[in-house]
Structure 1
Amino acid sequence: MAPMGIRLSPFGVAVFCLLALGILYHLYAGVLSSRLAAFSGQKRNVNLRELLAVSVEAAVLGGKEVKKVRDENSLMEKSKGKTKEGAVELLTMGDLLSHRKMYNLIKNTFPDIMVNSEERDNLVDKTALWSRDIPADILEKIDGHKEVPAESITVWIDPLDATQEYTETLVKYVTTMVCVAVGSKPIIGVIHQPFTGFTAWALVNQGSNMTPRSSYSISPPKVIVSRSHSGEVKSFIHNAFGNGTTIIEAGGAGYKVLSLLQMPSSDKEPVDQADVYVHITMIKKWDICAGAALLSALGGRMTTLKGDDIDCSGNALNTGGLVATVRVDHQAILNRLPNWDPDKQ
């Protein structure tokens, strides 16, 4: 007796095909519409809530690579050269694998936008696709109808902030970061901690999952500075606020911004609490733009030492130093700083 098979009627075949097309549309709608818009020459708008969700997913996926490499002790570190201050800049497998996840996920989802990463790698991974998931807190707080032209967007990604500390197993300082700038202004900031699993995010003028702390002090402030690129920052801080000023040395620009905010309680090593973040030498925009957006969304500020807003478009280098605060009189802090030209350091 011949085995029995299932035969679909023409109607059944049509229904099956429609279901398959629906699933494919759900998975690839964003990519397909972007490709079609590019092919037709149509100017593409980008939904900011979706871009925020993709940025969070990219930072988390990059963070998983960072943690895996560190846990397996397979860093394969090498030098990229030295900073102007003489510190060795390291590249590890964690930096590289995180970059591949983060860059390709964002670029595959939004092929029309400019994406700048700290690392360089020619691997194109077409399988890195957005899950289409939007976290519940983003759905709750962020308007889903805000769009901007793709050509106005610059994305800065830092696949592994605090690489030096990463190699020293000082993992509390390590973050992965994404910043979205529209024009020159940072409007989306994502800072993810791979070793705690916590992700801070914000969209300026819409919402954030972060809040400032209940109190800060500037008499004198606790000032957080770089432990590996400090230069002459200690004498600079003492000249500004007095010899009794508490100076906290820490790795990673992302960590330093988080030190200004209210962090969730954790059974892991807590984040330091600072009142002001100061950096007096050159620093790259992928290090700082996510923090600038996060602080701006919470009513804070990140400026150069002269008080100018940091331009988060164009050249990757910020040469003006920085001062970052929230719920503190930012101008009062700036007024106390000694004359200093970061370009000459």
Structure 2
Amino acid sequence: MAPMGIRLSPLGLAVFCLLGVGIIYHLYAGVISNRLAAFGQRRKVDLRELLAVSVEAAILGGKEVKAVREGNILKEKSKGKTREGASEPLTMGDLLSHRKMYNLIKNTFPQVTVHSEEHDNEEDSLAWSRDIPADILQIEGGREVAADSLTVWIDPLDATKEYTENLVKYVTTMVCVALEGKPVIGVIHQPFTGFTAWAYVGQGSNMAARSAYSITPPKVVVSRSHSGKVKSYIHDAFGNNTTVIEAGGSGYKVLALLDMPPNESDSMDQADVYVHITFIKKWDICAGAAILNAMGGHMTTLKGENIDYSGEPLNKGGLVASVGVDHKALLEKLPSWDPEKH
């Protein structure tokens, strides 16, 4: 007699398959869940750690900037001209600083979008030291956020023109972290003094606002290399007796608004307001915006609009920066001005 075969009805076959899928699911659901959780974790960033890496990056970049200047190996060339016709120099200090800063941040947080003023194809295997400075450790806990909600802006050498002229007090390296377009972490490092200012909005800073400011009239700090018609604009706003301080570098100009340590303040200008009436790149101003915000200050366009630190790098609205004064009252004194038409 021929052996009997086993036949399954379509319904029975379906039940058998479902049972199999169920068994496989129960066997592997935990593994899949754990792997998905790990994948999600890799896409999260601890902001306190990102602040520590940003400080380390700014200092590393600053060492390159200082070494190139002191070795007189600038190898200066031109990137072109600004909209106002001023030359934009590029030096080895810019490039070497960029490589250190960009690669350290990108190697540590590969999922985060990083914009730098400079670009090149040289890679560096730099790894974060895992060192968190004591003052940053005092920040309670770390706040984890989605990596794709962050934009990091790097200025590897702010005030390059002044750098080529050996006016090194104006030179800074800067890192800013924006969360959904709002600056939350700012680092401004001065390579030639070794001083580093940092702030994490809502959590802490090593900086403070000065005890006294004035807007009647204020001392206004402006760009010495991209000033355009800013002097007459300032006098129209605040009167002909207004003191206008010309300085290099956006980072320096923000620090001029703050209370610097005694050993750093001797070479610094002091101002009440920072005004810029032409186009300016976001890597120039984002770090300063974060530090001012942490101090209760403001950095807005000339019209009082908040600046979005995501997307394209150009801020076309000019800026007004202040701390310790009525920012709205400042804005009300400013004449109507459209940077796109000047």
Shorter-chain TM range is 0.7 to 0.9
Residue 149 of structure 2: aligned partner: 152
Please report how far the alpha carbon of residue 143 of structure 1 lies from its aligned counterpart in structure 2 after TM superposition.
2.3
Counterpart Cα distance in 2 of 1:281 and 1:267:
29
Gaps of 5+ in 2: 1-34
Alignment match of 1:325 (pick from 317, 322, 325)? 322
Pick aligned residue for 1:341 from 320, 338, 342: 338
Task: Tell me if the contact between 2:221 and 2:247 (Cα under 8 Å) persists in the aligned partners.
Answer: yes
Deviates more, 1:206-215 or 1:39-48: 39-48
Q: Are the equivalent residues in 2 in contact too, given 1:285–1:316 (CA < 8 A)?
A: yes
1:65 aligns with 2:64: yes
Tell me what 2:190 maps to.
193
Q: Does the CA-based 8 Å contact 2:49-2:142 persist in structure 1?
A: no
2:175 alignment partner, one of 169, 173, 178:
178
Contact in 2 for aligned 1:63/1:193 (Cα 8 Å): yes
What is the deviation of 1:40? 4.7
CA deviation string 1:75-106 (max 9, x = no partner): 00000000001000000000000000000000
| Percent of residue pairs identical | 74
RMSD: 1.5
Paired letter, 2:95: L
1:132–1:341: structure 2 CA closer, same or farther, 3 Å change rule? same
Q: Give the whole-Å Cα distance in 2 for the aligned partners of 1:276 and 1:268.
A: 17
Output the CA distance in 2 between the equivalents of 1:250 and 1:213. Answer: 19
Matched position secondary structure for 1:293 = helix
Q: Distance in 2 between matches of 1:247 and 1:72?
A: 34
CA contact (8 A) 1:196 1:268 kept: no
**Aligned equivalents of 2:252 and 2:140: distance in 1?**
28
Residue of structure 2 aligned with 1:224, choices 221, 224, 230: 221
**CA shift at 1:133, angstroms?**
0.2
Matched, 1:136 2:134: yes
For 1:85, the aligned partner's letter is E
- Hey, what's the Cα distance between the residues in 2 that align with 1:240 and 1:320? 17
Name segments (4+ residues, structure 1) moved above 3 Å. Answer: 36-43
- The question of whether the paired residues in 2 share the 8 Å contact of 1:38 and 1:44 is answered with no
C-alpha distance in 2 between matches for 1:159 and 1:132: 22
Normalised TM-score (structure 2): 0.88
Distance in 2 (CA, whole Å) between partners of 1:269 and 1:172 is: 11
Change (3 A) 1:268 1:143: closer
Number of residue pairs the alignment of both structures matches: 308
| Larger radius of gyration between Structure 1 and Structure 2 | 2
2:107 alignment counterpart: 108
Counterpart secondary structure, 1:262: coil
Alpha carbons of structure 1 residues 205 and 44: separation in structure 2 relative to 1, 3 Å: same
TM-score by length of 1: 0.87
Q: Which residue of 1 aligns with 2:311?
A: 314
Note the 1:116-135 alignment, pairs <5 A: 116-126=115-125, 128-135=126-133
Match of 1:294 among 291, 296, 303: 291
Give secondary structure in 1 for the equivalent of 2:174: strand
Structure 2 residue 245 is matched with structure 1 residue 252:
no
Residue 224 of structure 1: how far off its partner (Å)? 0.2
Measure, in 2, the Cα distance between the counterparts of 1:40 and 1:186. Answer: 26
CA distance in 2 between counterparts of 1:267 and 1:49 reads 26
The 8 Å contact of residues 38 and 112 in structure 1, kept in 2 or not, is answered as no
